[in-house]
Structure 1
Amino acid sequence: MKRDNELLNAIKRYFSSKEGTSIYYYGTGFTAIEFADIFQSGEKRVMDAPDMLVRKDNIALIIEHFEFDSYRVTRKGSQNRREQSRIEGAEKERLLAGGESCFSDVIHGSSSYQNYIQNVSLSFAEHYRQINTYKKNLKARGFISDSQVVRVLFFIEDTSPLGSVAADQSEGDLFVRPICLGQCQEFLSLLQDSPDVNYVLACSTVGPDKIVWFIDRNEIFEYQKNAIDYSQMQFINFEPQVSGFQIQCPLRATAEGINAEIPKTLMN
């Protein structure tokens, strides 16, 4: 199963608010409502290849989750992930050293719209090639049958540290807008040419805002009519700052006066 159950973490991240989650879409919205009903009340099974199967009545919904970001990717992986691993390692060293300390760091790397498109396209293609394998696995285990309506949803998460944002000055005033797959020309063209995927749930975070788009491939032309040419805008390349502190909190736990020093850390 995926590292630290990434799909369940993503579901919790975007759909656990007491206020509910707003989902953006174009077209009739019929399948967005149907998806919400199936996902909320259907029988869920978490697995590997695919990540999840949800069944309700005669519908079997295959869900596959993957992440991407707007940083350069090499054979060693995403610059963003490597930087976050480096910072986490340095934090652990401080914890082991003990004592009180403050620290700060920067997530270095080169982010761009070109990276954004390239990364999501490569990840999409990698998972798309596995769709027949997912279906064979489910049939072999008796989870789906030829009599069921089988649909495929890709749950795609942009994990760029501060989100993917572009500055638009096409109408005179400078306007900063989030980059979303539901309005992305290049991604919508890719989805149009990928008939084995029925739906995409595209999730991202910009500042405190969680942005969720439901894309129904059957209504792809409605999305394309409203698409935005982000390539003509200025991509904002952030260098996220990371800071935190560590303090010593004495804990007196027994009548004999045994003391333990527990390090506490807080990350911003």
Structure 2
Amino acid sequence: MGNSTILMVIRMEKSLHEPMYFFLFMLAVSDLGLCVTTLPTILKLFWFNVREIDCDACLTQMYFIHIFSMMESGILLSMAFDHYVAISNPLRYNAILNNASIVKIFVAFVLRAIIVLIPAPVLIKRLKFCEANVLSHSYCLHPDIIELSCSDHRINSFLGLVVIVITFGVDSMLILLSYVKILTTVLGIASQEKRVKALNTCVSHICAVLLVYIPLLGVSIIHRFGKHAPPVVQVSMGYVYLLVPPVLNPVVYCIKTHEIHTRILGIFRKISNNRY
């Protein structure tokens, strides 16, 4: 509901048809994609106690979960670049981030996710699974699946590490570099009030980055180094990884972004007035 509300508000309000809000629109789409992808197996488990999933269905779910997760990382990088350009080079902002460039950025990140992840399900199909295969989560993740294999899965593990490094690793480093540049620019502003105002525009994005990368780091560490951790830890981190960011991102942006907050209240007031 939170992400759908943001999509509706940005679509309806022409005053929000700007690069910053287009990127927020894309972030909401990727969050909705994660929810829709994980929803079928979660509902089957908790509503109907259905605990089995077909291998091909599991691989398909895994593929799309990682695609939307990777898209989210790329969109957060785009938003960091958006903040950097807006603060460091505001006069060229509209020339650099126009509608055509935003579409190209979005398509590039979608294609990156699709292409980079193609080998993962193909290589998993070559593995052998001998014993009872019980997943750690109520949905399918790459490291969780390959750990169940009774054949050599070192290539799969290495591929997963490479994918994480060239996507999430590179994105996180570029986001950090963007904020180093932003901080350098802000410290050069003479007025303290303008410095605070400039940094305040980045708070929502920083929260969104932390909401995505901290659970991702936690899940990765648990699957690689916490094999002897209690099952409840893996299960809990799995839900935090996929469900907390889509839930809290809309809350953060609705609270910290005045324009979004104001437009949402305005729409609900209109609906309320029409009813009465």
TM-score by length of 1: 0.26
Q: Which one has the bigger helix percentage?
A: 2
Report which of the two structures shows the higher radius of gyration computed on alpha carbons. Answer: 1
Q: Which one has the bigger strand percentage?
A: 1
TM-score by length of 2: 0.26
